[in-house]
Amino acid sequence: MTYTLYGRPWSGSLTVEWLLEEMGLPYDKVWVTGYRENVQPPEFAEINPLRAVPTLTLEDGSVLTESAAIMMWLAEAHGSVKWAPAIGSVERADYLRWMSFMSASLYPVAMQIYHPENYSDDVAHHDGIVARGRLVVDQQWAVMRAALGERDHLVGSHMTAADIYLLMFAKWFADMGGIADDDSAMAAWREGMLARPAIKSVLARHESGAWA
């Protein structure tokens, strides 16, 4: 099965791309540009009426949206217990907790910081929106740093989709600056994850501009 990933460089599609590469799954990439009514390619608005990335299509035409949902589905469809803890296990409870927390809490506030224009058309409000977002994300990131602690993996004894998802936020927040984690184990964990061959190959495409 070959998937089609609709995304943008450095966007939320980054973590799905990382997981597909780590799992060795074949996929095509379609670069989505523009926003709202100006989105390109035009057919993307029919595939995902919200015009949001990431969006993953299957060979039968089925559409998956929302980064966490895509990753959890891929982990279960292809990885067995390698990429997601066994159903009913304590580790599974932690996995669901943190995947949900990152999706419902970290992701929205990251978008608030990166795209204050989505929260107010008044440019005069944007600095306040960003400042509030940074305050909230500092609190939320402290929770994630404590959850990881000194361990090599967020959940269980080996890498899961939760680690790949966490890495996206770790990179985003490190790139933002001002969200302190360099004095923590999170920074060392982040750099170790970024050194993985599959992760590095994806980053190289994004950095070169040759994403699609």
Output the domain CATH number for residue 109. Answer: 1.20.1050.10
Residue 34: give its domain's CATH number.
3.40.30.10
Residue 113: in which H helix or E strand, if any? helix 107-114
Same domain for 108 and 167?
Answer: yes
At 205 the pLDDT is 87
Give the residue among 161, 114, 148 at the shortest CA–CA distance from 17: 161
Residue 114 sits in which domain range? Answer: 90-196
Same domain for 116 and 181?
Answer: yes
Same domain for 181 and 138?
Answer: yes
At 181 the pLDDT is 58
Exposed (0-12), middle (13-18) or buried (19+): which is 70, by Cβ within 10 Å? buried
Same domain for 134 and 187?
Answer: yes
pLDDT digit string (tens) for the chain, length 212 residues = 789 999 988 899 999 999 999 999 999 999 998 877 788 898 999 999 999 999 999 989 999 999 999 999 999 998 767 899 999 999 999 999 999 999 999 999 999 999 999 899 999 999 999 999 999 999 999 999 999 999 999 999 999 999 999 999 999 988 887 665 556 788 889 999 999 999 999 999 888 776 65
At 38 the pLDDT is 80
In the numeric block, the tokens 């190959």 are attached to: 201
At 210 the pLDDT is 66
Number of domains present in the structure of the chain: 2
At 180 the pLDDT is 57
Same domain for 70 and 95?
Answer: no
Residue 118 neighbours by CB under 8 Å, 6+ apart: 111, 112
Same domain for 185 and 107?
Answer: yes
Same domain for 156 and 173?
Answer: yes
Give the residue among 66, 55, 77, 102 at the shortest CA–CA distance from 1: 77
Same domain for 122 and 61?
Answer: no
Same domain for 159 and 179?
Answer: yes
At 53 the pLDDT is 94
Same domain for 204 and 191?
Answer: no
Same domain for 97 and 191?
Answer: yes
Same domain for 64 and 120?
Answer: no
